[in-house]
Amino acid sequence: MAGNGNANGEFSFGTGTARNGLAKIQTHKKQNGICHDDSAPPVKAQTIDELHSLQKKRSAPTTPIKDSQGSFATISDEDRQKQQLQSISASLASLTRETGPKVVKGDPARKAETPKHVPDHHFTPAFNVSDSSLKFTHILYNLSPAELYEQAIKYEQGSFITATGALATLSGAKTGRAPRDKRVVRDETTENDLWWGKGSPNIEMDEHTFLVNRERAVDYLNSLDKVFVNDQFLNWDPQNKIRVRIVSARAYHSLFMHNMCIRPTPEELENFGTPDFTIYNAGQFPCNRYTHYMTSSTSIDINLGRREMVILGTQYAGEMKKGLFSVMHYLMPKRQILSLHSGCNMGKDGDVALFFGLSGTGKTTLSTDHNRYLIGDDEHCWSENGVSNIEGGCYAKCIDLSREKEPDIWNAIKFGTVLENVVFDEHTREVDYTDKSVTENTRASYPIEYIPNAKIPCVGPHPKNVILLACDAFGVLPPVSKLSLAQTMYHFISGYTALVAGTEEGVKEPQATFSACFGAAFIMLHPTKYAAMLAEKMQKQGATGWLVNTGWSGGRYGSGSRIKLPYTRKIIDAIHSGSLLEANYKKTEVFGLEIPTEVEGVPTEILDPVNTWSDKKAYQDALLKLAGLFKNNFETFTSYKIGKDNKLTEEILAAGPNF
Ligand SMILES: Nc1ncnc2c1ncn2[C@@H]1O[C@H](COP(=O)(O)OP(=O)(O)O)[C@@H](O)[C@H]1O
Ligand SMILES: C=C(OP(=O)(O)O)C(=O)O
Ligand SMILES: [Ca+2]
Ligand SMILES: [Mn+2]
C-alpha cells in the first residue's frame, strides 16, 4: 500500500493504475496538509471510555409524585429511589434473620454503580451475622426488553435471537405446568373460603411449611449477584387493578412477565407503592424433599393470607402467569366479579364473545381474529361494567404454527417476544415450528399490542356470545351446537376436553378430561360458585351459549382427523354475525344438542358427526362411552345447588346426556 502514496502524502484514485493493479486513490490536497479519516466533525472525546460514555444518555427524568391533594409533592428523586429500594429490600428480607443482604439497584457488571462501602454504618462481624448479610444483592428493576435481551444472552445458556428478532429461551427440565406440585396454604380464612378435597386443585399446605419454602426461595435469590424485579399490574378494569411484584433470577422470567402482565407507565411505576401480591420465583433451585407436603423437587406454593407465591424447582414461566390467575380466581369473586379462563374479542359493532376452553382447545387461536378486536387470549373478568382482560400479553402455542393459518400470531413473533423451547437453524436462526425435539408445548409470549387489532385498553361491554370450546378426541361431539342456559351451565361445570400433549406434564396423547369451569387447575372456590355467577350474568345480558368441538371428526383420535381450522373459523364467524342464530336446527340423540343443518362455508355432512363415521356401530359405542364419562363426572355435583335458583339447578341436572 505504501507504494500508492506520493511524496505529498496525496493519493490518487482512478487517474491511473497502481503497481499492484488496483486503482490509485486520489484525495484533494488539504490546505493544512493533514489527512482526515472522513469529513464528519471529530468526536468530542479524548479516550475510548469517554467515547463510550457518550453512547448512552440518561432515561427521561422521573415526574414528580402528586400528593393526596393533587399537588406535586416535594419528594426528591433521591427519596423516591430510596423508598423504592426499601420496598424491594422488604420483599427480599429473610423472616428469620435480622440482617439481610444489602439491596442496591443496577447491574453488578457495571462496576461504577456498585457502592464502594456499606452505606449505613461500619460494623464488626459478630457471631449472629451471617456472610449473606455482608453481601450486596443487585436489583435489576423493570428492565426494558432490550436490556433483558442483553442479560439473557450474556448470562443464560440457551438464549438466542431468532431470525425475526424474538428471544429464544429454554425453560429447563420442565416444559409444562406441574399442577400436582401446586400447594395452597390452608389457614382459618381459606379453610372456609376455598374448595378443598376430592376434585379440587387446592392441595393443602400449612403456613409453617410455606414459610420454610419461602425462606428457601428468598435465601436462594439473595445468594445470587443479581435478581430481577418486575412491578406490574393485573386487570385492565381501572377499579379492580392488582399490583404485582415478581422477583426472579432469570432475564427470561422477567421478560416473560413484562409481556404477560400489564406494563405500568413511568408515572404509574413511581406511584406503585407496596405490591398487593408478590411472586418469589426461585425456579432453578429445588424444594427439599424432607420438607412436609413435598412430593417432588418442584413446589408452587400460594399463600393468600400473606399475598405471596413461591416457586421452587421449575423454570416453566407459565407457572407464574397461571399462579396469578389462581389468585384472581379468589380475589375477584370476593368483589362479585367473575374470573374466566377464556379468550375474548369484540366485533366492529361492539359485540363481545368469550371463548372458554382448556389448554389446546383454541382460545388463543380463535380469539386472535383479523376481523375482530382482540381483548385477550386467556384470562378475563366479567364485572357489572363488562369484561376486562387480566393480562397485558398473550401466550400462544407455536407447534406447527404457520403464517397462512395464523398470520397475526406469526407476525407477533418479533423483537420483544419470548419464544420458549423452540428449535431453530444454528446459522440462519430460522425457527422450525414443526420440531418437537425439546417439547410439544413450544410457546410464544408477546405483548398484546403486537396483535394489530388489539383493543387497548383491553376492556369491552357485556358478552353476547359465550362459546365453550372442547377438543373432543372421541369425534362424537358436533362441530357446533346451540345451547340452552341450562346446557351451557352443564357443559361449563363439566369442562370436558381431551387433554392434548404438552401443557401439562406427562400427557402424551389425548385423554378425556373434565375440568370444572374449563379451568379446575386454577379455580379456588367451589365450581358451582362460578357457575352461579355465570348463569346470572348470561341471563341478565341475554347471552347465547355455544358448544364448539375443535377436536376430531370422522372417527376418534387415531382414525378420524382434527376439524380443519378454516371450518372452525367459519363456524365462529357465523356465531359472531348472528346468522347461526337464524339457522334451522335439529336435536341430537343422547346429548340432546341443537345442531344447525347448514353453516356457510362448512361442508354440511360434517355438522352431524354420525355422517362422517364409516362404522356406525363404532360411532354409537363412542357416543355412549363419552356420555357415560360425562354422567360419572357430574355425579359429584348433583348434591350442589347452583345459586339461589332451585329450578335452574334442576334444569342443569337434566341438561346432561340421556341414554
Ligand atoms: N379446528 C381447530 N380449532 C382450533 N385450533 C385448532 C384447530 N385445529 C388445529 N388447531 C390448533 O390447536 C391449537 C389450539 O391451541 P390454542 O389456541 O393455543 O389453545 P388454548 O389457547 O385454548 O390453549 C393451535 O395450535 C391450533 O393451531
Ligand atoms: C399457559 C397455559 O394456557 P393455555 O394452554 O390455556 O394457553 C397453561 O395452561 O399453562
Ligand atoms: Ca392459549
Ligand atoms: Mn389458557
DSSP assignment of 133-196 equals GGSEEEEEES--HHHHHHHHHHHSTT-EE-TTS-EEE---S--SB-GGGEEEE--HHHHHHS--
- Rounded distance between C-alpha atoms, residue 320 and residue 249, angstroms: 13
Report the Cα 284 to chain-centroid distance in Å: 19
pTM of the model: 0.90
Topology of domain 76-115+132-141+173-335 in CATH is Phosphoenolpyruvate Carboxykinase; domain 1 (3.40.449)
Strand-pairing partners, residue 374, are 345, 454
Q: Chain-wide mean pLDDT for the chain?
A: 89
pLDDT value at residue 157 = 97
pLDDT value at residue 121 = 46
The reply to whether 177 belongs to the active site is yes
For ligand 4, the distance from its centroid to the CA atom of residue 322, given in whole angstroms, is 8
> In what helix (H) or strand (E) does residue 167 lie, and over which residues does it extend?
strand 167-169
Which residue out of 245, 258, 341, 464 is catalytically annotated?
Answer: 341
Does 357 sit in the ligand 1 pocket, CB within 6 Å? Answer: yes
C-alpha cell at 149: 435481551
pLDDT value at residue 134 = 73
Burial of 282 (0-12, 13-18, 19+ CB in 10 A): buried
pLDDT value at residue 73 = 57
- The 10 Å CB-count burial string (b at 16+, else e) for 331-344 is bbbeeebbbbbbbb
Strand-pairing partners, residue 387, are 382, 460
361: closest CA among 127, 147, 613, 565? Answer: 565
Does 395 sit in the ligand 2 pocket, CB within 6 Å? Answer: yes
The reply to whether 341 belongs to the active site is yes
Does 341 sit in the ligand 2 pocket, CB within 6 Å? Answer: no
What atom of ligand 2 comes closest to residue 441's alpha carbon? Answer: 5
Does 176 sit in the ligand 1 pocket, CB within 6 Å? Answer: no
In the chain, the amino acid numbered 648 is L
Helices (H) and strands (E) in the chain, counts: 15, 32
Please identify every stretch of the chain with a pLDDT value under 70, giving residue numbers as ranges.
1-39, 60-74, 99-100, 111-129, 500-510
The reply to whether 443 belongs to the active site is yes
Does 367 sit in the ligand 1 pocket, CB within 6 Å? Answer: no
Residue nearest to atom 1 of ligand 2 (CA): 318
Q: Is 334 helix (H, G, I), strand (E, B) or coil?
A: helix
What atom of ligand 2 comes closest to residue 357's alpha carbon? Answer: 6
Which residue out of 443, 462, 526, 576 is catalytically annotated?
Answer: 443
For the beta carbon of residue 301, count every other beta carbon within 10 angstroms: 27
C-alpha cell at 173: 427440565
Does 441 sit in the ligand 1 pocket, CB within 6 Å? Answer: no
Place of cell 366479579: 337
Residue nearest to atom 3 of ligand 2 (CA): 359
Does 364 sit in the ligand 1 pocket, CB within 6 Å? Answer: yes
pLDDT value at residue 99 = 67
Which residue out of 169, 298, 342, 364 is catalytically annotated?
Answer: 364
The reply to whether 372 belongs to the active site is no
What atom of ligand 1 comes closest to residue 398's alpha carbon? Answer: 25
Residue nearest to atom 25 of ligand 1 (CA): 397
Burial of 405 (0-12, 13-18, 19+ CB in 10 A): middle
Query: What is the per-residue pLDDT across 596-652, written as a single tens digit (0 to 9) for each?
Result: 999 999 999 999 999 999 999 999 999 999 999 999 999 989 888 888 878 888 999
Alpha-carbon torsion, ordered 487, 493, 496, 500, to 10 deg: 140
Does 588 sit in the ligand 1 pocket, CB within 6 Å? Answer: no
Give the homologous superfamily in CATH for domain 144-171+400-439: Phosphoenolpyruvate Carboxykinase, domain 2 (2.170.8.10)
Contacts (Cβ under 8 Å, ≥6 apart) of 646: none
For the beta carbon of residue 611, count every other beta carbon within 10 angstroms: 14
For ligand 2, the distance from its centroid to the CA atom of residue 320, given in whole angstroms, is 11
What atom of ligand 1 comes closest to residue 565's alpha carbon? Answer: 1
Place of cell 358427526: 609
What atom of ligand 2 comes closest to residue 177's alpha carbon? Answer: 10
The reply to whether 214 belongs to the active site is no
Q: Is 346 helix (H, G, I), strand (E, B) or coil?
A: strand
**Beta strands at 544-549 and 463-470: parallel, antiparallel or unpaired:** parallel
Best residue for ligand 1 mutational test, from 340, 342, 365 (most atoms within 8 Å of Cβ): 365
629 and 659 Cβ atoms separated by less than 8 Å: no
Does 606 sit in the ligand 1 pocket, CB within 6 Å? Answer: no
Best residue for ligand 2 mutational test, from 503, 505, 523 (most atoms within 8 Å of Cβ): 503
Report the Cα 384 to chain-centroid distance in Å: 25
- Rounded distance between C-alpha atoms, residue 215 and residue 93, angstroms: 9
Residue nearest to atom 5 of ligand 2 (CA): 359
- Rounded distance between C-alpha atoms, residue 118 and residue 122, angstroms: 7
Does 503 sit in the ligand 2 pocket, CB within 6 Å? Answer: yes
pLDDT value at residue 44 = 82
The reply to whether 359 belongs to the active site is yes
Q: Is 419 helix (H, G, I), strand (E, B) or coil?
A: strand
341 and 389 Cβ atoms separated by less than 8 Å: no
What atom of ligand 2 comes closest to residue 395's alpha carbon? Answer: 7
The reply to whether 647 belongs to the active site is no
Does 362 sit in the ligand 1 pocket, CB within 6 Å? Answer: yes
Q: In the chain, where are the structural domains located?
A: 1-30, 76-115+132-141+173-335, 144-171+400-439, 463-654
For ligand 1, the distance from its centroid to the CA atom of residue 370, given in whole angstroms, is 16
The reply to whether 364 belongs to the active site is yes
Concatenating the DSSP letter of every residue in 40-60 gives SPPPS-SSHHHHHHHH-PPPP
Does 497 sit in the ligand 1 pocket, CB within 6 Å? Answer: no
Topology of domain 463-654 in CATH is Phosphoenolpyruvate Carboxykinase; domain 3 (3.90.228)
